[in-house]
Structure 1
């Protein structure tokens, strides 16, 4: 018996929706053991990974590193901004050159420590 949400429910949006997701840069995500491969949650993650890649590149990512998913549990959010009972999965890639991590979230993140990038994917 599993007491976890089904893996198939972690990513519940189409790849096209990702063009409007906020992107953040953060320098000190150094424990990558908890980054999960997208194919753990999507039968064919290619469209989602390509959408993440395009958005990260547009925001300033240099194109190095492996795109994966990082889960944030609900308890790390301020109580008045809980995303859901299940937390939220962020798209993540760590750039090799300077160690900057790029994060893409389906929701606005309430953490002042992250640098918000404002890509205009329409241009």
Structure 2
């Protein structure tokens, strides 16, 4: 049922809350080629992240039967990618074609109205701006710490794997 080629463009939707995950199937159910499946999952993960996914949850596929209006294949049905974010329950759905679900459209209208209402509240707007700024600054510091840790670790691996060919003076330190 899955294409033999990689798909790199998807329409992404958010929906809250999909609680019954029993019908979400592992991608291996639909892919014979494991290499192709892993490449497609990497593309889908990247697209989900670009649309607000925080990277947690299990990615799977939802089969849409051909008799439903959202399906775009009259004989086999259609597949859409899904992941439910663990921390807030938001589901991200990726489809290679637009889905014409009234509930998805209503959800999008609701999100746009909430965003529009924020724009009109100056105090809330400033508070939101400051919260986002603090979040971005924390993210930058966190990424810098990860980068420094990775550099230090690579440096240590180099020293130990190459038997200290650079003849660096190493001393034990007391760590608390």
Q: TM-score, with normalisation over the residues of structure 2?
A: 0.54
- Give, in angstroms, the shift of residue 76 of structure 1: 2.3
Over aligned residue pairs, what C-alpha RMSD do you find?
1.7
Gaps of 5+ in 1: 1-9, 117-123
Describe the shift of the 1:13–1:21 C-alpha distance in structure 2 as closer, same or farther (beyond 3 A).
Answer: farther
Name the structure 2 match of 1:12.
Answer: 3
- For 2:102 and 2:54, the matched residues in 1 are separated by 24
Hey, which bits of structure 1, 4+ residues long, moved more than 6 A? none
Gaps of 5+ in 2: 109-176
Larger Rg: 2
Name the structure 2 match of 1:84.
Answer: 73
- Equivalent pairs, count: 102
* Local SS of the residue matching 2:63: strand
Q: TM-score, with normalisation over the residues of structure 1?
A: 0.75
- Give, in angstroms, the shift of residue 13 of structure 1: 5.1
Larger helix percent? 2
Higher relative contact order (CA 8 A, sep 6+): 1
Larger strand percent? 1
